[in-house]
Amino acid sequence: MSGLALCQLQVTLHKLKVFMSESRVPFFISGAGHVLPGSGMTTKIIHFMVNGRPEQAEFGADCSAADVKDLFRAAAEAGPHHILKLYNTNGSVVNISPLLEANSEDSYFRLEVVASNLKSVGMPKELDTMEYRLHYLESKVNEDLGKTPTIISDLKSQVESFKRKLESVEHLSWMGLFKEDSDQQLSKLSPKPKTSKLSMHEERQQVRREFLNMSTLQVTEEVREHLKTPIFDNWQWEDAEMLVLLQVMFTDLEFLTAFHIELDVLQNFLFKVYCHYNSIPFHNFRHCFCVTQMMYGLIWLTDLQSKIARIDLLIMLTSALCHDLDHPGYNNVYQINAQTDLALRYNDISPLENHHCAVAFGIMSKQECNILKNLTCEQYKYIRGGMIKCILATDMARHNEILNKFKTMRPVFNFTNKEHKEVLMNIMVKVSDISNEARPMAVAEPWLDCLLQEFFNQSDTEKLKGLPVTPFMDRDKVSKPSSQTNFIRFVLLPLFSELTKLFPCLEQHILEPVRRALEYYSDLERASKEEERTTKA
Ligand SMILES: Nc1nc2c(ncn2[C@@H]2O[C@@H]3COP(=O)(O)O[C@H]3[C@H]2O)c(=O)[nH]1
Ligand SMILES: [Zn+2]
């Protein structure tokens, strides 16, 4: 018996050795870190913490962005579509790319999986089977010999260590570590297309694929909580990730169940919305995301779910999402002065806002994108009416009219009064639309650069075409501090403080940061005036 068991054991050991030698582990991740494939490459070492354990990633300058991302995914034991973020010691997000600068153990980054699926890491079946057989034969040999031969103990520890490596690099399956269907292998043979070389259509389709791949991920509780506050940092998210987060907003407000929205219809709708925002400096998809996220935050912070009907929340969130669809980067004044097609079509009456709204309902006119298709006619009409009012209310030419309405009703505000509620909904979409300064300075300031870039583009065109130049957009007259101090004093504070009177809990979330921003820009303004005086003198 022991002879046969020993023979079988030898065959199993041989198979195991062959399996282990054939299964390349191109870069190895241990508790201590990564080792590069090959040698002699110039490498850099990135120190980081993941799940409280110190790790190192070592890679060469010629690594691709995808390789580097996979390296970090492997360290975080996260699958290919999981969302990872790398934070520096200040808590700011650092782009995971080959351009990462080597750091020391004292200035390590923090790596976090911010969204993941809950599938466990799987071992290749062959290894499992062989290991099982090894145990079985070991016990047989043990029965006869009374002890485990050294060769078996050695091999067992090798198998253990090999398993650990496999666990850490399972996600690098694209490198051929695991067996795949032949057509899957074929698709991987073709080189990864370079994003910059893709046409707009291909780029969008890639975003769609990434979005759908990631859309089943569990977004972490921490991100979900952040998503409900103005401190949420929009800059760290890629397009597909923002689409995932928008889906989270719709699901977490229970719109899918309440309004019988099928998940694939919501995804088609969100993707179409994404496609209908233009790549312009300010009024782009990221702005749409920010406004929707602020609207979402305000709903949670004010506990609006307990005060108004869910259908009204759907109107508010969807209006925020659609409120700048297909914005061309030139405002209403320009549209009217330049007599554009939009101004002609809408008779100079809020041409842009009318257009944004028409595009929104154009998207929903396709059944596969129509999130309202399972509602009754009455519900559809109600939502359409509500969205038209909310989106048209974002025209700043109507700012005082809407704010004054709210001011008169605010002291006697009644959530069950239809007119009161409608004005409040308009106000909340407006607040969300111009809420960048309610965000942390590091998040808000880049938005101002984007806005001024769009303003300057417009005033440059106005000058070129001999049209009246909008003064607050003129690069010769406007500076960052002057633009913000006026906007905060005369637009933001009066609007935000009125809403805060209705919801005092908003003071710390939207009013205080805006006051701090005013102080900051006032100081800058004073300093630059002082500098001007001294240079003149
Ligand atoms: N100066 C300044 N203007 C802003 C800021 N945020 C929004 N706006 C303006 O407010 C407007 C709101 O409607 P639009 O999107 O048409 O255009 C926006 C900008 O003109 C800001 O932070 N600073
Ligand atoms: Zn806007």
CATH code, domain carrying 359: 1.10.1300.10
In a domain, 147, yes or no: no
pLDDT of 50 over the 60 cut: yes
Find out whether the beta carbon of 488 lies less than 6 Å from any atom of ligand 1. Answer: no
- Ligand 1 atom with the smallest distance to the CA of 444 is 22
Q: Which of the pair, 68 or 103, is modelled with greater confidence?
A: 103
Q: Tell me, in angstroms, the distance from the centre of ligand 2 to residue 32's CA.
A: 48
pLDDT of 523 over the 70 cut: yes
pLDDT band per the 50, 70, 90 thresholds, residue 166 = low
Q: Tell me, in angstroms, the distance from the centre of ligand 2 to residue 291's CA.
A: 7
Burial of residue 423 (CB within 10 Å: 0-12, 13-18, 19+) is buried
Query: What pLDDT, on the 0 to 100 scale, is given for residue 292?
Result: 98
Among 140-149, 241-250, 399-408, 434-443, the least confident range: 140-149
Q: Return the CATH number at 98.
A: 3.10.20.90
Give me the phi and psi of 271, to 5 degrees please: -65, -40
In a domain, 337, yes or no: yes
In a domain, 239, yes or no: yes
Query: What pLDDT, on the 0 to 100 scale, is given for residue 5?
Result: 59
In a domain, 429, yes or no: yes
Residue 474 and residue 479: Cα distance in Å, rounded?
9
Q: Which of the pair, 527 or 146, is modelled with greater confidence?
A: 527
pLDDT of 95 over the 90 cut: no
Query: What pLDDT, on the 0 to 100 scale, is given for residue 67?
Result: 76
Burial of residue 406 (CB within 10 Å: 0-12, 13-18, 19+) is buried
- Ligand 1 atom with the smallest distance to the CA of 447 is 22
Query: What pLDDT, on the 0 to 100 scale, is given for residue 112?
Result: 85
Catalytic site residue 420? no
Q: Give yes or no: residues 275 and 410 share one domain.
A: yes
In a domain, 36, yes or no: no
Share of the chain above pLDDT 70, in %: 79
Residue 247 and residue 285: Cα distance in Å, rounded?
15
Ligand 1, pocket-test mutation among 487, 489, 490, 492, most atoms within 8 A of CB: 487
**Which ipTM score applies to this complex?**
0.99
Among 12-16, 235-239, 520-524, the least confident range: 12-16
- Residue of 81, 283, 327, 356 marked catalytic: 283
Q: Give yes or no: residues 226 and 109 share one domain.
A: no
Where is the domain boundary, 431, 459, 474? 474
Query: What pLDDT, on the 0 to 100 scale, is given for residue 147?
Result: 74
pLDDT of 245 over the 60 cut: yes
Average pLDDT, the chain: 85
pLDDT band per the 50, 70, 90 thresholds, residue 178 = very low
- Ligand 1 atom with the smallest distance to the CA of 436 is 22
- Ligand 1 atom with the smallest distance to the CA of 287 is 15
> Among all chains, which residue has been given the structure tokens 């809408």?
346
Find out whether the beta carbon of 451 lies less than 6 Å from any atom of ligand 1. Answer: yes
517 Ramachandran zone, left/alpha/beta (phi>0; psi -120 to 50): alpha
Nearest ligand to residue 284 Cα: 2
Domains identified in the chain, total number: 2
Find out whether the beta carbon of 353 lies less than 6 Å from any atom of ligand 1. Answer: no
The annotation places the binding site at 283-287, 323-324, 433, 484
Residue 262 and residue 251: Cα distance in Å, rounded?
11
Find out whether the beta carbon of 437 lies less than 6 Å from any atom of ligand 1. Answer: yes
Query: What pLDDT, on the 0 to 100 scale, is given for residue 454?
Result: 98
pLDDT of 167 over the 60 cut: no
Tens of pLDDT, residues 472-518: 999 999 999 999 999 999 999 999 999 999 999 999 999 999 999 99
DSSP alpha helix (H) spans, 146-199: 150-169, 182-189
Query: What pLDDT, on the 0 to 100 scale, is given for residue 82?
Result: 76
Q: Give yes or no: residues 112 and 224 share one domain.
A: no
Give me the phi and psi of 465, to 5 degrees please: -90, 0
Tens of pLDDT, residues 272-324: 999 999 999 999 999 999 999 999 999 999 999 999 999 999 999 999 999 99
Query: What pLDDT, on the 0 to 100 scale, is given for residue 13?
Result: 63
In a domain, 320, yes or no: yes
Find out whether the beta carbon of 395 lies less than 6 Å from any atom of ligand 1. Answer: no
In a domain, 82, yes or no: yes
pLDDT of 371 over the 90 cut: yes
Query: What pLDDT, on the 0 to 100 scale, is given for residue 120?
Result: 39
Find out whether the beta carbon of 454 lies less than 6 Å from any atom of ligand 1. Answer: no
Find out whether the beta carbon of 77 lies less than 6 Å from any atom of ligand 1. Answer: no
pLDDT of 129 over the 80 cut: no
Where is the domain boundary, 116, 132, 155? 116
Among 236-245, 345-354, 527-536, the least confident range: 527-536
Q: Give yes or no: residues 242 and 93 share one domain.
A: no
Find out whether the beta carbon of 450 lies less than 6 Å from any atom of ligand 1. Answer: no
Find the mean pLDDT for residues 237-265: 98
Measure Cα distances from 514 to 280, 297, 437, 507, 524 in Å: 26, 16, 6, 10, 15
State the residue range of the domain holding 96.
42-116
The annotation places the binding site for AMP at 283-287, 324, 433, 484
Residue 115 and residue 85: Cα distance in Å, rounded?
10
Neighbours of 222 (CB within 10 A): 10
The annotation places the binding site for Zn(2+) at 287, 323-324, 433
Where is the domain boundary, 443, 474, 505? 474
Among 40-44, 113-117, 492-496, the least confident range: 40-44
Query: What pLDDT, on the 0 to 100 scale, is given for residue 376?
Result: 98
Tens of pLDDT, residues 130-152: 666 667 667 777 777 777 777 77
Find the mean pLDDT for residues 346-359: 98
Q: Tell me, in angstroms, the distance from the centre of ligand 1 to residue 14's CA.
A: 71
Query: What pLDDT, on the 0 to 100 scale, is given for residue 66?
Result: 73
Ligand 1, pocket-test mutation among 325, 434, 439, most atoms within 8 A of CB: 434
Nearest ligand to residue 452 Cα: 1
Sequence-ordered list of residues with C-beta below 8 angstroms from that of 423, at least 6 positions apart, any chain: 402, 405, 406, 409
In a domain, 469, yes or no: yes
Q: Which of the pair, 302 or 112, is modelled with greater confidence?
A: 302
- Residue nearest atom 18 of ligand 1, based on CA coordinates: 434
